[in-house]
Structure 1
Amino acid sequence: MKSIIFEQTGKPADVLKLADVPVPEPGPNEVRVKVIASPINPSDIMFVQNLYGIRPQLPSGIGFEGVGRVDALGEGVQMRTGMRVSFTSVGTWSEYAIAHQRGLIPVPDAISDDVAAQLFVNPFTAYAMVQDSGVPEGGWLMLTAAGSAFSKVVIQLCRMRGIKTIGTVRRDDLNDELKNLGLTEVVNTENENLPARIKQITDGNGVACVLDAVGGHTATEAIKCLAKGGRMLLYGLLSLQDPTINAGLLIFRELTVKGFWLTDWMRRVDSHTRQDVAQNVIRLLSSGQIQLPVEATYSLEQIAEAVDHAHRPGRWGKVLVKI
């Protein structure tokens, strides 16, 4: 079968290659999935560069989520082949992938392949982080990197819950789209002072929570935007730079700064919570209340072009690898 692998870590466009590898066989409690499509997420790019929370065992496959049809069952699996499922694994940029049966989500007909391919990482993270943010109806939540696919899901969720949102951008070409999704205010950090602008927007109070994917200077400035008792949830480090934490702010404003990783969140919560999130995400996607746009699709043979496109600034939708 055809599969994208890498034998050394580095820049994805340089180290990823298309290879012919044996078709894998599912072990106990596993299934083999014939892959239809898989997105290119920031976590995939970081994994190839050895900058993610789990380290690649070289040579390694790549791709953490996708949509496909169950092709073969391992011992102990009670389900039918041919089912269309959203699934998580390591190595979804491939014709076939192995997934644990607990990581499978049956996909209803109302959800397209393009949406189902993205069903897990961004929607689940967004839903869980909005829950963890603790921002009430009418409160303020701020997002850095507001133009990302993840942030767009958060904006739509907050709109439905009556939570006001502020998004930071470095370009203004997506502002109208973000406002149409429900973003309340946009701040361009290239030409505006972020803390001063937030103070103006919130009548001097600050925001209840910041969801930060950037780190570095952006996160350093975003911490200053928190209201007393506010919290920042860090879920990415796009700048590859650590923020500077002002201890005085943490002490005298009683702020909380913590990390968020979906993998650990899924392990931490009980099965009822996981099922509740899955049901709500599927309901919102099936009804069209949450949109997951796709900007471009590529074949396995076009992987270098695909990862280059996924890293390009100013995208309005996800880049998919279609098998």
Structure 2
Amino acid sequence: MRVRVTARPVNPSDLLFVQGRYGRRARFATDPEAPDGQRGRDARGGPDGGAPAGAPGFEGAGVVDALGPGTSGPPPGTRVAVAADGTWRSYVCAPAAAVLPVSERMPLDVACQLTVNPFTARLLLDDLGLRDGGTVLLTAGASAVSRMVAWLARRRGVRCFAAVRRAEHVPALERGGAVPLLTGTENDLADRVRQATDGRGADAALDSVGGAVGGAALRCVRPGGRFVSYGMLSGRPLSVPPEALIFRRVRVRGFWLPERLERLERQGTAAVRRLTDEVGAEVAAGLPGLEVAARYDLDAYALALEHATRPGRTGKVLLTG
């Protein structure tokens, strides 16, 4: 089906895609390998669903514009969230399974953020399998995903330690159920986690930063604990000392939402539908991390990218129109 997209977030994965560092190769209208007729086209694409090859964007929201021959799904005019490649354009074509009808009560500013961060937070926490009384350390503790994880974890009796470097983030984290760890250096983080866990260390760490911060978070995990890398905000490689694997037996792995969802899909449509319904209910119940910092017209994507990379930003930057 074809969706007229009117709102799209600027996510870290979009920035990686633009930089050519994402798990899928970026190809733009200036790419000499782009198919004929795709070069030099307007970023908005056209009602045929066309756009520059490799247009950024993995999620958005809008209304169903048309159904293909024999396609079943929400009728034209239905408000939807869509998970598809290339949502930074006015029209996108997607299979019915990638289009989620949304309530009239849900603003499109929220709906356009529905299919990436909320699912990431939920599946990260599910995969850790922590029980009541467990502990998890979050790097980039004020990020949308970290705030979502902390909110979900509190409902399960799991304590989240959210590492931040700006005091202004502390009140919102406390309201969301996290224990803020205000740190100035990577060594500060290890000291704070030891104090918060009576010297035991965290049961797990979820790292979206990499580099020195990720390495410090790895040192905070207790022997036999788990470390999950799911982001590359620092742009720096993560160092994993052999002693962490050999002597402390920390289990280290990566998380990539598309791959994780593919594994879920192999369990059948019922498993996907159950997760989708539960995530939708969590959003409706007040899941944090969906606030909006600014809106830019789609043609002003360069300004939106600049805003999305500003230090200390709170809330999501959206592309609209």
TM-score range, shorter chain: 0.7 to 0.9
Which shifted more, 262-271 or 121-130?
Answer: 262-271
- RCO comparison, higher one (Cα < 8 Å, 6+): 1
Which shifted more, 187-196 or 311-320?
Answer: 187-196
Which residue pairs with 2:231 in the alignment? 236
Distance 2:158 2:6 in 1: 36
**By percentage of residues, which structure has more strand?**
1
In the TM superposition, 1:89-168 aligns within 5 A as: 89-168=84-163
Which residue pairs with 2:16 in the alignment? 46
Which residue pairs with 1:71 in the alignment? 65
Which residue pairs with 1:58 in the alignment? 28
1:135 is paired with a residue whose SS is coil
Deviation at 1:177, TM superposition (A): 1.4
Q: Deviations over 1:158-184 (max 9, x none)?
A: 122221011111222211111111112
Distance 1:223 1:287 in 2: 32
Distance 2:187 2:164 in 1: 10
| 2:205 counterpart letter in structure 1 | V
Distance 2:314 2:93 in 1: 31
Which residue pairs with 1:308 in the alignment? 306
- Kindly tell me the number of residue pairs found equivalent between the two proteins: 293
Name the TM-score, length of structure 2 as normaliser.
0.87
CA contact (8 A) 2:137 2:160 kept: yes
CA contact (8 A) 2:151 2:288 kept: yes
Deviation at 1:290, TM superposition (A): 4.2
Deviation at 1:233, TM superposition (A): 0.8
CA contact (8 A) 1:144 1:212 kept: yes
Distance 1:206 1:274 in 2: 34
| 1:57 counterpart letter in structure 2 | R
| 1:63 counterpart letter in structure 2 | G
Q: Deviations over 1:201-221 (max 9, x none)?
A: 101111111110111111111
CA contact (8 A) 1:136 1:163 kept: yes
Which residue pairs with 2:286 in the alignment? 288
Q: Deviations over 1:239-293 (max 9, x none)?
A: 1111111111211222100000000001011233322221111112123244511
- Unpaired stretches in structure 1, ≥5 consecutive residues: 1-30
Distance 2:68 2:77 in 1: 14
- Unpaired stretches in structure 2, ≥5 consecutive residues: 30-53
1:54 is paired with a residue whose SS is coil
Distance 2:166 2:223 in 1: 30
Query: Are residue 180 (structure 1) and residue 178 (structure 2) matched?
Result: no
Distance 1:287 1:223 in 2: 32
1:193 is paired with a residue whose SS is helix
CA contact (8 A) 1:227 1:253 kept: yes
Query: Are residue 206 (structure 1) and residue 193 (structure 2) matched?
Result: no
| 1:188 counterpart letter in structure 2 | T
CA contact (8 A) 1:68 1:86 kept: yes
Deviation at 1:187, TM superposition (A): 3.4
Distance 1:236 1:180, change over 3 A: same
Query: Are residue 196 (structure 1) and residue 191 (structure 2) matched?
Result: yes
Deviation at 1:304, TM superposition (A): 1.6
CA contact (8 A) 2:166 2:182 kept: no
Which residue pairs with 1:272 in the alignment? 270
Percent identity, aligned pairs only, is 40
Which shifted more, 190-199 or 112-121?
Answer: 190-199
| 2:91 counterpart letter in structure 1 | Y
Q: Deviations over 1:108-165 (max 9, x none)?
A: 2232111101001100000000001122111111100011111111111112222101
Distance 2:313 2:119 in 1: 21
Superposition RMSD in Å: 1.5
Distance 2:178 2:15 in 1: 27
Distance 2:121 2:255 in 1: 11
